[in-house]
Structure 1
Amino acid sequence: MPVLPPLVCLAPNRQHEAEAFAVQFALSLQDHLPSDGYALVLRETQLSLEHPHAHGAVMAEFVEGAAAHRRQFGGGKGQPVAKAIGIKGSYLPQVVDATAGLGRDAFVLATLGCEVTLIERSPVAAALLADGLARAAAHSDTADIVERMQLVHADAADWLLTLDSAQRPDVVYLDPMFPDTGKSAAAKKDMQAFQHCIGDDLDSERLLAAALQVAKKRVVVKRPRLGERIPGPPPNAELQGKSTRFDFYVPLASRPPR
């Protein structure tokens, strides 16, 4: 079972922000770091998920590091995720990323010009995303990109089914976390932290069903190349990469009548 970490503020001048985070995401606010276990730590420069016995911290980063490199040299519209959601020429679909996580793919799509709604039900990931988006909005290199990104803290399947016909997105994008089968290499630190604090998406079949009811053009599911498919209807097509596979589904509204 996932363990919800406490929120610890180590920047006295950001105490009011910490209190707002605690209320918004229903987090327990503490005044000291735990001796063991994960904590969301608000410092002067960022909010991060940290563990006293683990090297490094997990955060949503859109300005520097890998995000900056991918923004400049990632391959533009030729990237697999861009092809998967259907970017072609001047066509830029409106996208709902229903399993936003740390927002990496959503940021790529927004960089390419798409309007992206990020849905994240985990209070941990949603808090990290909110902080990362706020930092990116304050930076000149990324402010215009973040304007195309909207974060919603909600259960994605429930949220999708509240949309009326005018609000339905062109594409619903899913990248669910599946249980570790023990066959893969050791997970990266962010995946290890997420497994502990967030858990797996054990109801991905329900989310896929909701996405198929709502999307106008396609539903796209990102999986490891040899990863299992979401239970339910089989995909209509797939796009294979070296380490990743995208499964494509035709939404119910787009299927021809029988």
Structure 2
Amino acid sequence: MSSEFELQQTADGVQLVWTAGPKGIKPLHLDFRAGKSGYRAVNSSLKSESLIKALGITGKRKPSVLDATAGLARDALMVAAFGSSVDLIERHPMVRILLQDALERGRNGTDKIADCCRRMQLLEVEHVKQVSSEQYDVVYLDPMYPKSGKQRAQVKKDMQMFQQLVGGDEDANDLIAPALDAAKFRVVVKRPDHADFLGQREPNTQIKSKKHRFDVYIKQGFEQL
């Protein structure tokens, strides 16, 4: 674990402190009911979410999803909000602690966020290659992408801390092959608009949003999902 960061237990749960960070950056406290992520999970519609379309989720179809690069699980929360079960893989130990703490707190209650958190499970593995073949309907990948200095300046302060902690996923290209093995139907990769295809592998189709694109890899014989 990095000496620049420390985890602190508070009355509201675990928080991450950037001890060597610039002034003005508050501790990172993960709360699925707070902020835009919680609001989106409660209020979004199928038509408005490109991620949900890319994953093949519909009003009747709720595929099982593996989020193999969970991070702060904001996308996973959205997926769970539309009824799919979501298993999470996160390899950074500090982020894993933040996630587990947030999930346990989030499951308390009877609201929609509690239902979402009950559909989310943090796995005891560190890489998608440790998952059994065709264990999930869909595998989702959102690896950290190296950003320019100009882009870093535009990132919100909590994400500045997160990016400093975990760094870029230098082995991101190694994710696509085991992800395709772990998925029954498709793999979805979230990428910046300007980024290369993961592993230089061209997707079957794409769904684009304002800031990102979702590259969709459909396994042969399973085009229906």
TM-score scaled by structure 2? 0.88
Q: 2:114 aligns with which of 143, 146, 154?
A: 143
Q: Which runs of 5+ in 1 are unaligned?
A: 7-36
Map Cα deviations across residues 166-206 of structure 1 (whole Å, 9 max, x no partner): xx111000000022233525122233222322121111121
Q: Which amino acid in structure 2 is aligned with residue 129 of structure 1?
A: L
SS at match of 2:84: coil
Query: Are residues 175 and 123 of structure 1, via their aligned partners in 2, closer, same or farther at CA, if it must alter by over 3 Å?
Result: same
| Match in the other structure for 2:181 | 213
Q: Which one-letter code corresponds to 2:117 in the other structure?
A: V
- Seen in structure 2, the aligned counterparts of structure 1 residues 118 and 201 have a Cα distance that, compared at 3 Å, is same
For 1:64 and 1:195, the matched residues in 2 are separated by: 20
Q: 2:95 aligns with which of 122, 125, 129?
A: 125
Instruction: Answer whether contact 2:89 2:128 (CA < 8 A) is retained.
Output: no
Matched, 1:59 2:29: yes
Greater relative CO, 1 or 2 (CA 8 Å, sep 6+): 2
SS at match of 2:159: helix
Query: How far 1:232 moved relative to its partner?
Result: 3.3
Cα RMSD (Å) of the superposition? Answer: 2.1
| 1:251 positional shift | 3.0
Q: 1:252 to 1:121 in 2, by over 3 A?
A: farther
2:54 corresponding residue in structure 1: 84
Does residue 171 of structure 2 align to residue 203 of structure 1?
Answer: yes
Deviations 1:87-126 (A, max 9, x none): 1230011000000000111111111100110111111111
What do the CA deviations read for 1:38-95 (whole angstroms, capped 9, x no partner)? 2212111121112253422223221222233112322345411111100123001100
Tell me the distance in 2 between the aligned counterparts of 1:68 and 1:188.
17
Q: 1:153 to 1:196 in 2, by over 3 A?
A: farther
Residue in 2 that maps onto 1:112: 82
Q: Distance in 1 between matches of 2:203 and 2:127?
A: 20
Letter in 2 for 1:250: I
| 3-state DSSP of counterpart to 2:136 | coil
CA distance in 2, matches of 1:73, 1:197: 31
Q: Which has the higher strand share?
A: 2
Detail structure 1 runs of 4+ shifted over 6 Å in the superposition. Answer: none
Amino acid at match of 1:133: L
2:42 corresponds to which of 72, 76, 98: 72
Identity %: 39
Distance 2:191 2:105 in 1: 29
Q: Aligned partners of 1:119 and 1:174: how far apart in 2?
A: 10
Report the alpha carbon displacement of residue 143 of structure 1 after superposing the two structures with TM: 2.3
**Count of aligned residue pairs for this structure pair:** 218
**Is contact 1:60-1:103 (8 Å) kept?**
no
| Secondary structure of the corresponding residue to residue 187 of structure 2 | strand
Of residues 165, 172, 175, the one that matches 2:142 is 175
Change (3 A) 1:104 1:56: same
Equivalents in 2 of 1:252, 1:202: separation in Å?
A: 29
Q: What are the residue-to-residue correspondences of 1:227-238 with 2, within 5 Å? A: 227-238=195-206
Return the letter of the residue paired with 1:228. D
Instruction: Say whether residues 1:154 and 2:125 are aligned partners.
Output: yes
Taking a change above 3 Å as real, the CA distance of residues 114 and 198 of structure 1, as seen in their structure-2 partners, is same
Where structure 2 has 5 or more consecutive residues not aligned to the other structure, the ranges are: none
Q: Tell me the alpha carbon deviations over residues 197-245 of structure 1, each in whole angstroms, 9 at most, x when there is no partner.
A: 2121111121111011121111000112223321232111111111110
